[in-house]
Amino acid sequence: MSKEDLFKKMAQSIVDGDAEVAEALAKEAIDAGIDPLEAISNGYVVGVNQVGDSFSCGMAFLPELVMAGEAMKLAVAALEPEMQKRGSERKMLGKVVIATVEGDIHEIGKSLVATMLGASGFQIYDLGVDVPADKIIGKALEVNADIICMSALLTTTMVRQKEVIEELDKEGLHGRIKVMVGGAPITKDWVNSINADGYSEDAIGAVNVAKKVMGI
């Protein structure tokens, strides 16, 4: 298979949301001695953009977007060892630490945002659900995160978002680390009152908000 054919197939595997094929093609590329970074940008990313465009004009549905994101994640993971070997690194848009706040076990919205941001070129550190403030901030410092994303579904747990921001303010970290919040009870007024940097009502919107708070 020519390099161009391989790239086309990579793009198609993302459009199809076929993680297994995407992963197998990544290994094929390594065996053929293709630069992983080239495979990502000329292969997989083309597919991601195609799904994104088709979604924007109302043709593709959310599950297709999620499946594309997951296929992309696996493909990149398969290329990772080769990238390390070559000492090359994928240029990411930013590092994001994401979690559902303490006392709250609602996961799906948070995971969707993580998938969308990951597929759009952000490095994701997903801490899961019911995560205390110090753990969120600790991880953000450890990985030198650009953004902290926090989800809450309950009016009684959304106050935790405020606590994290207050802690960041106290430590003088809020300028360096931006904060995005989300969840069903989250409103614009709440976001303003706790001085968060961004929020989106849905996972797709979160990508643009993340780019905006990063000034991209």
Report CA 139 to chain centroid distance, whole Å: 16
Interstrand relation of 198-199 and 147-151 (parallel, antiparallel or unpaired): unpaired
**How far apart are the C-alpha atoms of 82 and 33, rounded to whole Å?**
10
Q: How far apart are CA 90 and CA 41, in angstroms?
A: 10
Give the whole-angstrom CA distance, residue 32 versus residue 58.
37
Binding mask 69-108 for another protein (x = CB under 8 A): ------------------------------------xx-x
Interaction between residue 112 and another protein (CB under 8 A): yes
Of residues 50, 38, 37, the one with CA closest to residue 11: 50
Binding mask 116-155 for another protein (x = CB under 8 A): ---------------------------------------x
Nearest to 214, CA basis, from 183, 206, 170: 206
Binding flags for another protein, 9-28, as an x/- string (CB under 8 A): --------------------
**Total chain residues near another protein (CB under 8 A):** 22
Which residue, 32 or 105, is less far from another protein as judged by CB? Answer: 105
Asked whether 68 and 15 are in contact (CB, 8 A), the reply is yes
- Determine how many CB atoms are found less than 10 A away from the CB of residue 128: 13
The sign of the dihedral angle between the CA atoms of 56, 58, 62, 66 is negative
Q: Of 31-70, which residues contact another protein (CB under 8 A)?
A: 55, 58, 61-63
- Angle subtended at Cα 94 by Cα 82 and Cα 80, rounded to the nearest 5 degrees: 10
Q: Does 159 interact with another protein (rule: CB under 8 A)?
A: yes
| C-beta closer to another protein: residue 36 or 198 | 198
Of 20, 171, 185, 208, the one binding another protein by CB under 8 A: 185
Compare residues 42 and 157 and give the one whose CB is closer to another protein.
Answer: 157
- In the list 190, 194, 197, 199, the residue contacting another protein (rule: CB under 8 A) is 190
| Interface residue list for another protein (CB under 8 A) | 55, 58, 61-63, 105-106, 108, 112, 155-157, 159, 184-185, 187, 189-190, 201-204
